[in-house]
Structure 1
Amino acid sequence: MWSQKLKSGNVCYRERYENPLTGEIKVATVTIKPSGKKRTDERIAEEALREKIDKITHEAKVKDLTLEELCEKYIARQQREYKPQTAQAARRRLSTIKRLIGNKALIKRLNAPLVADKLYTGSDITYNERLTRFKALMRWAYQAGYIDDVSYLDRLQNKRVPSVRVKDAEKYLEHDEIDKLLSGMTVERWKLVTEFLILSGLRIGEFIALNDSDVDFEKREIHVTKTFSRDIHKISTTKTEMSERDVYMQDELLECAERIKKFSKEEQIQYVFQTDLFLSNGNGDYICYDVYSKYFRENTERILGRRLTPHSLRHTHTALLAESGVPLETISRRLGHADSEVTKNVYFHVTEKMREKDNDKIKSVKMLHVCYT
């Protein structure tokens, strides 16, 4: 910083800075009226110049954002506008993209071939999911003014995978698979959880959050008013307003709920603890989502030969009700959503299979035995 006294008696202070975009050396100036204390004037001028230079170069600096910095800005926006678990889920998903592409990658230097190569790790379906998240991130960056051009996103095409209808049809268990899976599970706690989810259609987070008071045996109702978020490890509101609901306990579900209640009471007596939870982890705290999810995935692969997630049990519930002739609208209300493409796809796939079986039965029926010559 240097200074020059003006004819007016004021002092003009100057400081050089480099334009981050062009590399050109520029000079910022600030003029102040002398106070008689030179060091004080210099400190004031220095702070004013720094603020001015930061403001001038701010737009240029954001254009040089790294992928890590952009993700942090995106998550900060999520935290302001959405539920905590939504922002935490975004952080978890983006962490994979950052790891694959590189935290320090400059967003303005990303291009279609590089992104496609980095995001693909062998699975077409996984690649498509990552690509969807990456495109959403970069389009937000464009709208927020952090990058000037995202036209290369149009050159990033999804891999060809089975149709949504076909994929969703693979997300539920057939009757024989349910029997095999439950018979093959050796941990009683997880076996009970699995059976309850099949019979109720609850999300795993909704089940974990259940208190004893939420399961009304007299009215045969499960009051779903909250969920356990795996992302923030806390109880939160249900996914949507429609998710807050009462689920009727049919005979099988009622009997399963009674067995869980008995299991929980015996466990509390044996290990000397008390809990208000419908089913705890064995010491009065919430069941660990990740532990159950890992057990479930490993057992479906071991017993059924295909790796499924606990959410497939919700689709299984849809399939079982569809096979029993329950209307789609009723199933949707029971599951707690007004509209779901996945639920529709599972429902229509099941009813389609039922029609095919009906046609096969009718195909071989002989109704007339008249012989025409």
Structure 2
Amino acid sequence: MGSKEPAPKKPRAHAGQGTVYWDEQKGCYRGEISLGFTPAGKRRRPKVYGRTKTEVREKLKALAQEAKTGVKSSASYTVADCVDDFLKRGLKGRAQGTVDKCRILANKHIVPELGKAKLKDLTADDVDDWLDSKAGELATRTLRELHAVLRRAIQFAQRRDKVLRNVAELVTTPEGKEGRPSKALTLSQARDVLAAAKGTRLFAYVVLSLMIGVRTEEARALRWEHVHLAPPGDIPPHVEVWRSVREDGDTKTKKSRRTLALPVPVVDALRAHQAAQEDDRKVAGKAWQDNRLVFATTVGTELDAANVRRAFRAIVKESGIGGSWTPRELRHSFVSLMSEKGVPLEAIARLVGHSSTATTETVYRKELRPVITEGAEVMEDLFR
């Protein structure tokens, strides 16, 4: 009587690891793992395949981890998908400028270079190498903003259980190339710019920005009820810088809310500007939108930052001072001119709405000089 062949051994199950065995039909290793039951009561026992037992066990381990954490990392969910979801749903309530900046950074740098990578396979080394490759072409500030967009996009995916961890948080932003430093107009250059701006729609904007040092976001949000050109009694003409074009309408910080005396040239420019705006209202007729904005379009709507920059560049070109200048450098020029005239650092910090002199020193270090006094009368003396 011949001996019977031993029955093939059943694949051995390892607790929490599933089973791994050779699949003759597919010609590779197959793994299965029990992950509980579906809401309908059906057993969840997904299958994975691989060329080696180690590969299959790693896949089973990942499935078990996903089941444990509740994270379902899709093999087809890419970095581009992650960024797209973030741009569509993760920026609700943010200022339009913030949304636009995130979209530009994502579409120009993240999606073209990292977009095809599977999000679950993205590593900290991948992000590190990518940021290092951008360091030679982008300024440090832009590099930090770019890193922040990727980090926030993956964070958004984490909250949606699309990925287990945020590898962008494990990376330090490298130093980029040195950006274009802000400049300040000399007194001679400032006078040339004012002369070139005279007669343009931006004249009062330039005068106000240069002579009281408001931020561009504060100037564009200024309303006539906050401008007092002929206040009663001994109160000098002044402006209440209490708003900005930020999403919540508030200024950058609490210390940024300030009331500033107006030099005579600013009062004169604003009076002329108010009269010109009244002419705009009559011409626009029913198309006029009464937003009470000091600086507005010909139909009363808010000025666009890009349009202000374009108009200011035209003024600079007409002035003949040369170089590339932006409206925010009028504020830098205010700090420089005040400091040159001897205004104390503490007073300058209050005038420009900084929470401390440390901010003033850090941002405007090149514009500061040894100091002694303060006040709007300084600008009156300079530009009378």
* TM range, smaller chain: 0.5 to 0.7
Give yes or no for the alignment of 1:311 onto 2:328. Answer: yes
List per-residue Cα deviations over 1:80-132 (Å, max 9, x = no partner).
8x865686366346434325534334451524444433x35x75xx3322322
Tell me if the contact between 2:342 and 2:370 (Cα under 8 Å) persists in the aligned partners. no
Matches within 5 A, 1:1-373: 25-30=32-37, 44-45=40-41, 56=67, 58-59=70-71, 61=73, 66-71=78-83, 84=95, 88=99, 91-92=102-103, 94-95=105-106, 96-99=108-111, 101-106=113-118, 108-109=122-123, 110-117=126-133, 119=134, 123=137, 126-136=138-148, 146-147=164-165, 153=171, 157-159=174-176, 161=178, 168=181, 170-185=182-197, 188-217=200-229, 218=231, 219=235, 220-229=237-246, 236-272=249-285, 273=288, 275=290, 276-297=292-313, 299-300=315-316, 303-339=320-356, 343-345=360-362, 348-352=365-369
- What is aligned with 1:5? none
Q: 1:77 to 1:345 in 2, by over 3 A?
A: same
Q: Distance in 2 between matches of 1:298 and 1:100?
A: 35
Kindly state the Cα deviation for residue 208 of structure 1 after the two structures are TM-superposed: 1.8
Q: 1:70 to 1:133 in 2, by over 3 A?
A: farther
List per-residue Cα deviations over 1:113-166 (Å, max 9, x = no partner).
44433x35x75xx33223222444566658978547569845x6424538xxxx
Tell me if the contact between 2:151 and 2:166 (Cα under 8 Å) persists in the aligned partners. no
Tell me if the contact between 1:214 and 1:224 (Cα under 8 Å) persists in the aligned partners. yes
Tell me if the contact between 1:97 and 1:130 (Cα under 8 Å) persists in the aligned partners. no
- What is aligned with 2:15? none
TM-score for the superposition, normalised by structure 1? 0.65
Kindly state the Cα deviation for residue 340 of structure 1 after the two structures are TM-superposed: 6.4
Amino acid at match of 1:204: T
Q: Distance in 2 between matches of 1:241 and 1:55?
A: 45
User: What's the secondary structure of 1:88's corresponding residue?
Assistant: helix
Kindly state the Cα deviation for residue 261 of structure 1 after the two structures are TM-superposed: 1.4
Tell me if the contact between 1:135 and 1:153 (Cα under 8 Å) persists in the aligned partners. no
Aligned-residue RMSD, C-alpha: 4.4
Kindly state the Cα deviation for residue 215 of structure 1 after the two structures are TM-superposed: 0.3
Tell me if the contact between 1:226 and 1:237 (Cα under 8 Å) persists in the aligned partners. yes
Is there any run of 5+ residues in structure 1 with no aligned partner, and where? 1-22, 33-43, 355-373
Amino acid at match of 1:320: L
- What is aligned with 2:22? none
Kindly state the Cα deviation for residue 316 of structure 1 after the two structures are TM-superposed: 1.3
Amino acid at match of 2:347: T
User: What's the secondary structure of 1:236's corresponding residue?
Assistant: coil
User: What's the secondary structure of 1:246's corresponding residue?
Assistant: strand
Q: 1:31 to 1:237 in 2, by over 3 A?
A: closer
Moved more, 53-62 or 180-189: 53-62
Q: Distance in 2 between matches of 1:90 and 1:343?
A: 26
Amino acid at match of 1:291: N
Kindly state the Cα deviation for residue 249 of structure 1 after the two structures are TM-superposed: 0.9
Q: How many residues align?
A: 307
Q: Distance in 2 between matches of 1:299 and 1:339?
A: 33
Q: Distance in 1 between matches of 2:193 and 2:360?
A: 22
Q: Distance in 2 between matches of 1:333 and 1:214?
A: 18
User: What's the secondary structure of 2:175's corresponding residue?
Assistant: coil
Kindly state the Cα deviation for residue 290 of structure 1 after the two structures are TM-superposed: 1.8
Q: Distance in 2 between matches of 1:111 and 1:330?
A: 44
Q: 1:106 to 1:177 in 2, by over 3 A?
A: farther
Is there any run of 5+ residues in structure 2 with no aligned partner, and where? 1-29, 47-62, 372-384
- Residue identity over aligned pairs, in percent, reads 18
Q: 1:134 to 1:349 in 2, by over 3 A?
A: closer
User: What's the secondary structure of 2:239's corresponding residue?
Assistant: strand
User: What's the secondary structure of 2:350's corresponding residue?
Assistant: helix
Q: 1:153 to 1:268 in 2, by over 3 A?
A: same
Kindly state the Cα deviation for residue 49 of structure 1 after the two structures are TM-superposed: 8.8
Q: 1:25 to 1:307 in 2, by over 3 A?
A: farther
TM-score for the superposition, normalised by structure 2? 0.63
Q: 1:192 to 1:115 in 2, by over 3 A?
A: same
Q: Distance in 2 between matches of 1:31 and 1:75?
A: 33
Q: Distance in 2 between matches of 1:31 and 1:201?
A: 64
Q: Distance in 2 between matches of 1:31 and 1:271?
A: 65
Q: Distance in 1 between matches of 2:252 and 2:238?
A: 20
Moved more, 103-112 or 281-290: 103-112
Q: Distance in 1 between matches of 2:282 and 2:218?
A: 25
Amino acid at match of 1:196: L
Tell me if the contact between 1:226 and 1:236 (Cα under 8 Å) persists in the aligned partners. yes
More helix by share: 1
Amino acid at match of 2:216: I
